[in-house]
Amino acid sequence: MEQNKEKKKHSIETLLYIIAIITFLITFIPNLPSYVTTLLYLDTILLAGYEILFEGIKNIFKLNFEEDTLMTIAIISAYILGEFTEACLVILLYKLGEIIEEKAVNKSNQSIQKIVDIKATNANLINGEEIKVVDVKELKIGDSILIKPGEIVPVDCKVISGNSSIDTSNITGESIPITVEAKAELKSGIINLDGKLIATVEKTFEDSTASQIVDLVYEAQNNKGKTEEFITKFSKIYTPIVIILAVLIAVIPSIIGFDMSVWITRGLVFLVAACPCSIVISIPLALYNCLGSISRKGILIKGTKHIEDLSKSKIIAFDKTGTLTTGKMKIDKIEVSENHTEEEILKYVYALEVNSSHPIANSIIEKIKEKNDSIKLEEVKDYKEIAGCGICGKVESKFVLFGNKKLLEKYEIPYKKLQENKNYLVVNNEIIGNISLKEEVRNNIESLENELSKLGIKRIAMLTGDNEKNAKKIGKELNIQEIYAGLLPKDKLEKIEELKKEGKTIFVGDGINDSPVLATADFSISMGEGTEIASDTADSILISNNLNTIANSIKISKKTMKVMKINIAFSLITKVIVLILGIIGYAPIWLAVFADVGVTLLTVLNAMRIR
């Protein structure tokens, strides 16, 4: 309803503006009576600028000196002085600038609005054999819901039955659909593409991913950066000073005997040219576009105030487990004894691990299925799990052990030499092979170090509580030379404080133990899969969990700061030149309009490049 009203209002304003232009062009018809042209000029001003004039006059009485106030004073003064053409040009060009600015802002809003629209409003609640459409806020943890093809997943949930392809681009920025089936976890805001899914609610609407993302977007829009706050304060002080100076330029020369109309005109030129709208509009727009662009890459930044710190960062430190790695283990190498096969090793390990509740078990099972999806699940009898050692049981009437050196010693299995980082498979007291595991590094981050270095990041470090051997292994794989291992949360905090002394520092982490460091770093990033407290503490959230996005975000933030500096410099230089020319009488009002509206349009277009 509100959108329809806005569209209608915009259509009426556009129509009136077109009529105003036509009316202004009619004034150039030769031999028109002077009273007709005077009325046509007045019609042009009122049709194009009735809203601006109304707001400007209100502001004059309230002593609220804003952009509309400056324009109103300039237009009314020019009209009284008989500078009808100039008065019309001021309002027509100013209005044109407003229309283009509005379109630019609407475009930058689109990416933000897409994020806001990811929240579902209704859900299909399963109540026995009945399916009832309810408000998504009514869902409770444990409820069963039906997600139809084409629907947005309403809350964070786990699939009970069904399979489908899902589009996760709203949440992760990843455009390639993925397949889900029973036991898959779904984040709210993603789209179910082609199959029906029945799922169990795991989080309420308020606590679900989509709601948290939308809350972050609104928070980001309200958190202004230092530059943006300075511009806002600057315009409030600058505008009244401009009006006072314009009045002095018009009045003082007239008092001491100079031509009053000439100096009033010069005062008007000063008033129009000095208007700060090019800076006031383009700076927030640039920052707003930056937030939108980075959010499309999969990072949500909690406000423009963090963009400057991100752009100036020289050092980046990563947590290891759950950040550089997925937190899961993967099969690194399989070694097979003579007269045995790899398939035989996988068959026995798979049979045992299916029964295990150990976190590593799921990782091994997934990797075995990926490696050989034809392996059949054998029945296990007398299954037993020995804490800190491994697992055992009877498979095909054979006694099978799978675990470390301690397990073999416990069952007095003869061996020559064993390595600490390997898990051995024993069948009927004979070692027939071993499997070594390693942490699973996140996808496609092997070139991350190189990309960050290109963007001016001087130091890349790993801060981890894990032992030095494991840390160095991951560091070598990712080409990270600076490694600090065996750190407690307090040690991590001290290390970040130390790094900050050498330059702006980014920290990327995911766990509760990372929260103090996330709060201390100049710019902090919490993994989207991380803990709630880490997400609350960090300056941004990596929703996509794709670490390569960090390099893209730094690049966008640097481009934004560069665009802002160019816009400020271009605006000030142009205005100073026109102001000087105006005071000495070489700048007509139309040039002053260009110094205001023209420069605003150019800076707005420059800000739009960030998208």
- Distance between CA 375 and CA 346 in Å, rounded? 8
pLDDT at position 465: 83
- Distance between CA 475 and CA 206 in Å, rounded? 39
pLDDT at position 544: 79
Q: Residue holding tokens 């999969």?
A: 298
Q: Can you give the three-state secondary structure of 98-128, one letter per residue?
A: HHHHHHHHHHHHHHHHHHHCCCCCEEEEEEC
pTM metric for this prediction: 0.69
Domain locations in the chain? 2-113+223-287+561-608, 140-204, 328-441
> For residue 532, is pLDDT > 80?
no
- Distance between CA 101 and CA 106 in Å, rounded? 9
Average confidence score pLDDT of the chain: 83
Query: Looking at 442-481, which runs of residues are DSSP E strands?
Result: 459-463
- Distance between CA 392 and CA 356 in Å, rounded? 10
The 8 Å CB, 24+ separation contacts for 39-43 are 41/79, 41/84, 41/85, 41/87, 41/88, 42/79
> For residue 225, is pLDDT > 70?
no
- The architecture in CATH of the region 328-441 reads 3-Layer(aba) Sandwich (3.40)
- Amino acid in the structure at residue 481: Q
- The stretch 314-341 carries a mean pLDDT of 87
> For residue 316, is pLDDT > 70?
yes
144 DSSP β-pair partners: 200
CATH code of domain 140-204 = 2.70.150.10
pLDDT in tens, 82-94: 778 878 877 887 7
| 606 SS3 class | helix
Asked if 67 and 51 count as a contact pair (C-beta separation under 8 A), the reply is no
| 507 SS3 class | strand
Domain 140-204 matches domain 328-441 at the CATH topology level: no
Closest by Cα among 42, 232, 91 to 596:
91
Closest by Cα among 209, 462, 211 to 322:
462
| 329 SS3 class | strand
pLDDT at position 103: 67
- The stretch 222-229 carries a mean pLDDT of 55
Task: Work out the angle at residue 531's Cα, subtended by the Cα atoms of residues 529 and 534, and round it to the nearest 5 degrees.
Answer: 110
> For residue 115, is pLDDT > 60?
no
Buried b (16+ CB within 10 A) or exposed e, 159-189: beebebebbbbbbbbeeebeebeeebebbbb
| 186 SS3 class | strand
Asked if 189 and 153 count as a contact pair (C-beta separation under 8 A), the reply is yes
**Least confident segment among 8-17, 309-318, 462-471, 526-535:** 526-535
CA 577 to each of CA 36, 583, 603: distance values in angstroms, whole numbers, following the listed order: 37, 10, 17
- The stretch 371-389 carries a mean pLDDT of 81
Count other C-beta atoms under 10 Å from residue 321's C-beta. 19
pLDDT in tens, 127-136: 888 999 999 9
Q: Residue holding tokens 């309230």?
A: 62
- The stretch 212-236 carries a mean pLDDT of 60
Tokens of 461: 């470090």
- Distance between CA 125 and CA 129 in Å, rounded? 10
pLDDT at position 216: 59
- Distance between CA 214 and CA 231 in Å, rounded? 27
In this structure, what DSSP letter does residue 191 have? E
pLDDT in tens, 347-358: 898 889 888 866
> For residue 588, is pLDDT > 60?
yes
Residues serving a catalytic function are 319
Count of CA atoms in the C-beta half-sphere (13 A) of 69: 19
Residue partners of 442: CB distance under 8 A and separation at least 6: 324, 325, 326, 545, 546, 547
Q: What percent of the chain has pLDDT over 70?
A: 87
- Distance between CA 219 and CA 187 in Å, rounded? 21
Percentages of the chain per state (helix, strand, coil), in multiples of 5:
55, 20, 25
Tokens of 197: 């899914």
* Res. 598 pLDDT band, cuts 50 70 90: confident
pLDDT in tens, 455-513: 999 999 999 888 888 889 899 989 998 999 888 778 888 999 999 999 999 999 886 66
What number of residues does the chain have? 611
pLDDT at position 551: 93
What is the strand order of the sheet 178-180 is part of?
178-180, 164-167, 191-192
* Res. 220 pLDDT band, cuts 50 70 90: very low
pLDDT at position 107: 59
Buried b (16+ CB within 10 A) or exposed e, 52-73: bbebbeebbeeeebbbbbbbbb
- The stretch 422-431 carries a mean pLDDT of 90
Task: Work out the angle at residue 217's Cα, subtended by the Cα atoms of residues 216 and 222, and round it to the nearest 5 degrees.
Answer: 95
> For residue 117, is pLDDT > 80?
no
pLDDT at position 282: 80
pLDDT in tens, 182-198: 888 898 888 898 889 99
pLDDT in tens, 148-175: 998 999 999 999 999 888 887 666 555 5
Closest by Cα among 297, 133, 139 to 208:
139
